[in-house]
Amino acid sequence: MAQPVEIKGIRDGLLIRVDDHPDFAIFELLPGQLDAKRDFLRGSRIAVEIGRRELSYEQLVEMQRLFEGYDLTLWALLTQDVATRESARRVGLATRLSGSATDLEGNALPVEPADSAPAAARQPPAPNALFLRETVRSGRSVWHEGHVVILGDVNPGAEVIAAGNVIVWGRLRGLVHAGALGDAGAVICALDLNPTQLRIADQIAVAPPDSRHAPIPEQAAIRDGQIVAEPWQTRHAV
């Protein structure tokens, strides 16, 4: 049976999908999920997908206030119900996601190239991984309840937060937090590892001044209770 509430990372923040089965009461489901993942979600922009569920203008206002109480911003609502979609616009919510696989009616679109973003950046290749084929620029936050793989750089002033591992096939200069839900076995890998800050589970490290003549691929992991960077071994002898 599918989970009544599913949270996944998207280009614009986080997407929360709520099962539209009538037995699942949305205002009873959401607080429990938000309480359980409060630290992981804090500060995120939230889009909610509710399928065929009908919500009134007043209920959407209540939902906005619910998210605000968790330091979250509700900015979009995806719904197949016409009246609910109109109410969402009255509240000031967007009714589609940029570069998403969902159209204005909340229906799935075929995966096609788009001018605004590469297809690989719009749709993760696996249910538990977010794949971004782009540079994460200053001021942007990427959140995902799984692994994150970035084919590009993470610039200073950007942040990447994941419940799993973070792999950067490029230069890592921003803040990265792997194992954000407490997984001390998570790792952070980059071709050039020189972040403003690294976090793994509850451990925090700041990179020392870079004195290397040339960058080398490195992996950061928790060793003996602290974050340690070591050469990233992509091949093993047999």
- 177-219 pLDDT, tens digit per residue, is 998 878 899 999 999 999 988 999 888 887 665 555 578 899 9
Share of the chain above pLDDT 70, in %: 78
Q: Give the per-residue pLDDT at 100.
A: 44
Contacts (Cβ under 8 Å, ≥6 apart) of 173? 153, 154, 155, 156, 158, 194, 195, 196
Residues with Cβ within 8 Å of 196's Cβ and at least 6 positions away in sequence, in order, are 156, 173, 174, 175, 206, 207
Per-residue pLDDT tens for 21-47? 766 678 888 888 888 888 777 788 888
Q: Which helix (H) or strand (E) holds 4?
A: none
Q: What pLDDT score does 103 carry?
A: 43
Taking all residues of the chain, what is their mean pLDDT, rounded to a whole number? 79
Identify which has the larger pLDDT, 237 or 14: 14
Q: Residue 193's pLDDT is what?
A: 92
Write down the pTM of the prediction.
Answer: 0.53
Range with the poorest average pLDDT among 47-51, 60-64, 77-81, 106-110: 106-110
Partners of 198 in beta bridges: 176, 205
pLDDT on residue 187: 95
Whether 205 and 225 have beta carbons less than 8 Å apart is answered as: no
The answer, yes or no, to whether residue 126 has pLDDT greater than 50, is no
Q: Measure Cα distances from 136 to 13, 149, 164, 183 in Å.
A: 13, 12, 18, 24
> Does residue 153 surpass a pLDDT of 80?
yes
What is the DSSP secondary structure assignment for residue 208, as one 8-state letter?
A: P
